[in-house]
Amino acid sequence: MNAAIIGASGYSGEELVRLLSRHPNVQLAAVTSRSLAGQKVADVMPALRHAVGDLEFTSSDPVELAQRDDLDVFFLALPHGVASEFASPLYKAGKTVIDLSADFRLNSTSTYENYYGHPHPAPELLKAAPYVIPELADDSWKEATLIACPGCYPTSVQVPLIPLLKAGLIKPSGIVINSYSGVSGAGRKVAEDFIYCERNESMKAYGLPKHRHLSEIEEQLEKAAFADCLVQFNPHLAPMARGISTTIVAKSNKASIESIYSTWQKTYKGKPFISILPSGTYPDTKHVTGSNRADISAVYDPRTDNFVITSVIDNLLKGASGQAVQILNLKSGFEETAGLI
């Protein structure tokens, strides 16, 4: 199987290159970037010097790419809005498209417009594109050829919450989510706020109270809960390169901590990338950095009747590129962990 990465100049793109260049079942056949075309991948991503040989960035347009017979699967690591420009012709040409942007994550075009500030660029494709956290989606998504990869914060939220909402163990209203992301979450952005001396030893909130990922979180939680969910979602920047730490407060719906754990265990039995930690121990971003794993745990507070749930992921792996490769693996019938361990 020959894969192409479209728009590989950022940190997610680099992780895709890393993962696909060592994948046992995939050949990384093309890496494109308008700004880097003609440059060697090894020069732009010096950490991958030993892995990428003489591979060069190419600058291809969507139509041309759609016509190439030698490329089977396309990973889109592009900004929202731009991804659609590629997804449409590729999808129509029958290619497999795994999109890491926000373009196909929402079902509702009005929510998209509300949060992204412009009309949805390809509404006709929304129905075709399932939203896939592999451990949570039902298997029908594997038939799709256009797949929406979830955002990083939303993955850290849904892995612990979706099973609990489906089982009715927590109340869908009043959920409070605080998330702390490593600086790579902002991409390879060159701005004063992201230089070392500003972010080092520094922690702060941003984008309150209506971060774009909120739309995706609420839409998915509502689908699981069959009820309205109004979530308070507070993203922050943390002084580290990678990792997301998420802490969720949710009202118990007359449920015990044991029922939380048994529901998780049932949902995630045999899933290699979900670790359920005992109540009273706490997920640590350091333990998932560089892996495609999500670690989760919960405690019950009898004083408040709340569950406090914590989760961690590597924002670039389970939160982006790792999950995208996991999706390819499952869709293609490869080992779920191929190229990911």
- Pick between residue 37 and residue 195 the one whose CB is nearest to its own copies: 195
Comparing C-alpha atoms, which of 119, 160, 121, 184 is closest to residue 247?
160
Distance of closest approach, residue 116 Cβ to its own copies, in angstroms: 17
Whole-angstrom distance, CA of residue 76 vs CA of residue 31: 10
Identify whether 152 is a catalytic site residue.
yes
Residue 211 DSSP symbol: -
Which residues are CB-neighbours of 173 under 8 A, at least 6 positions away? Answer: 227, 228, 229, 230, 251
> In which element (H, E) is residue 93 found?
none
Q: Which is nearer to its own copies, 63 or 282 (CB)?
A: 282
What would the DSSP string read from start to end of 131-155?
B--TTTS-GGGGG-SEEEPPPHHHH
C-beta of 37 vs 203, nearer to its own copies: 203
From CA 277, how far away is CA 180, in angstroms rounded? 20
**Residue 113 or 301 having the CB closest to its own copies:** 301
Cα separation, 48 vs 19, whole angstroms = 10
CB of 235 to its own copies, least distance (A): 10
- Rounded least distance, CB 110 to its own copies, Å: 15
Instruction: Tell the burial category of 64 from Cβ atoms under 10 Å away from its Cβ (0-12, 13-18, 19+).
Output: exposed
Least separation in angstroms between CB 254 and its own copies = 18
Cβ closest to its own copies, residue 52 vs residue 162: 52
User: Least distance in Å: CB of 239 to its own copies?
Assistant: 5
Taking a C-beta distance cutoff of 8 angstroms, is the pair 276, 264 a contact? yes
Exposure string of 310-322, with b = 16+ CB inside 10 Å and e = fewer, is bbbbbbbbbbbbb
- In the sheet with 27-32, reading across from the earlier edge strand, the strands are 57-58, 27-32, 2-6, 73-76, 96-99, 146-148
Q: Which of 149, 152, 197, 229 is catalytic?
A: 152
Q: Measure the CA–CA gap between 294 and 311, rounded to whole angstroms.
A: 7
| Joined tokens for residue 22 | 């060592």
Q: Which is nearer to its own copies, 94 or 278 (CB)?
A: 278
Comparing CB distances to its own copies, the nearer of 71 and 250 is 250
Q: Give the gyration radius of the chain's Cα atoms.
A: 20
The answer to whether 319 and 244 are in contact (CB under 8 A) is: yes
Which residues have a catalytic role annotated? Answer: 152
